[in-house]
Each structure stands twice: as C-alpha cells, then as structure tokens.
Amino acid sequence: MGHRHKAREYALQALYMYETVKASPEELESLNWLNKEIPDDIREYAVSIINGSIEKIDFIDDLIKKYSKNWQFERLGLIDKSILRLSIYSLLFAPDIPSPVVINEGVELGKTFGGENSGQFINGILDSIKNKELNKGENSAGERQPKK
C-alpha cells in the first residue's frame, strides 16, 4: 500500500470525526488520535487533505448536492460523504494528482470502508464533477479551477 493511500485513509478518518464528533481542525491535523508513529510524508499529505477539505467544505458540499441525483445530501452515509469530500478536494485543488488516480482512490476507499454500492456511487459523482466542473486550466496559485 502506497504512502498516499495510507494518508487518504487517515484523512478519511479525520473527516469522519469532523462530521460525527465535531473535532476541531487543529485536533484532527495533529493526528495524535491515531496513537501511532506516522512517517513525515504520510503526515504531511494527510494534513494537507484534511485542511483543504475542511477549508473548502461548503463549496465541496454544494457540488455533492448538485451531483448526487436522487439522493438528499442529509441522507448520504457519513463515510461516503467524507470520501467524496477528500476526493473532490483532491480532484479540484491538487493538480499534481491525475484525475483518474483521484477517482480510483475514492472508489477504492468506498469499496473498503463504505456500503455495498459506495464504490459505484462515488465513481458516478466524481466522474460527473470531473467531466462537468473541472476546467483544464489552472489559476495563478496552480489550483485547478471549477468552471464558472
């Protein structure tokens, strides 16, 4: 298992805690709740996903609502919602990661941690966002830009 995959698992756990127990971003980014030694590269990548996803959460949640056809946002499983949040953040704001990799990772997290149909559901939403929202250009900060 790659370092980035492990970092995404930690970010998933953190975003789940953010939703369920309202843990603060500072508490989450410490990763102390894992009670284990974490290599610096994994820690750094996990923290960047956690912070970015929380910072952009309203924008990301609006996209989830827009593309989760026939599903009320409030009824989405918390694991699926957390996977979508970290994946959408990576898809739109981490240009160093190819979009097929982001989508595949989201689907794999869904299959591992989500429900029976999580992988398909996550794939559908991420693929729609990639096709309809992602502008191939970048802004001055090097971030991918959603279409206006």
CATH code: domain of residue 107: 1.10.940.10
User: Which residue bears the tokens 């794939």?
Assistant: 123
pLDDT of residue 144: 55
Higher pLDDT, 139 or 65: 65
Domain contains 140: no
**Domain span holding position 9:** 3-134
Please report which confidence band the pLDDT of residue 145 belongs to, taking 50, 70 and 90 as the band edges: low
Neighbours of 85 (CB within 10 A): 28
The answer to whether the beta carbons of residues 64 and 84 sit under 8 Å apart is: yes
| C-alpha to C-alpha distance for 55 and 90, rounded to whole angstroms | 13
pLDDT tier for residue 146 given thresholds of 50, 70 and 90: low
Number of domains the chain is built from: 1
Give 34-93 pLDDT, tens digit per residue. Answer: 888 899 899 999 999 999 999 999 999 999 999 987 777 778 889 999 999 999 999 999
Percent of the chain with pLDDT over 70: 90
The structure tokens listed for 106 are 């989201």
Q: Report the mean per-residue pLDDT for the chain.
A: 86
3-state secondary structure at position 141: coil
pTM score, whole prediction: 0.86
Task: Give the per-residue pLDDT at 148.
Answer: 45
**pLDDT: which is higher, 35 or 19:** 19
Q: Which residue has the higher pLDDT, 143 or 107?
A: 107
Structural domain contains residue 53:
yes
Whether 41 maps to a domain, the answer reads yes
Q: Please indicate, yes or no, if residue 143 is contained in any of the structural domains.
A: no
Share of the chain above pLDDT 90, in %: 59
Q: Answer whether residue 59 is part of any domain.
A: yes
Q: How many CB atoms lie within 10 A of CB 137?
A: 8
Residue 144 included in any domain: no
- Is residue 146, in this structure, part of any structural domain at all? no
DSSP states of 108-135:
HHHHHHS-TTHHHHHHHHHHHHHHHTEE
Q: What is the pLDDT of residue 137?
A: 47
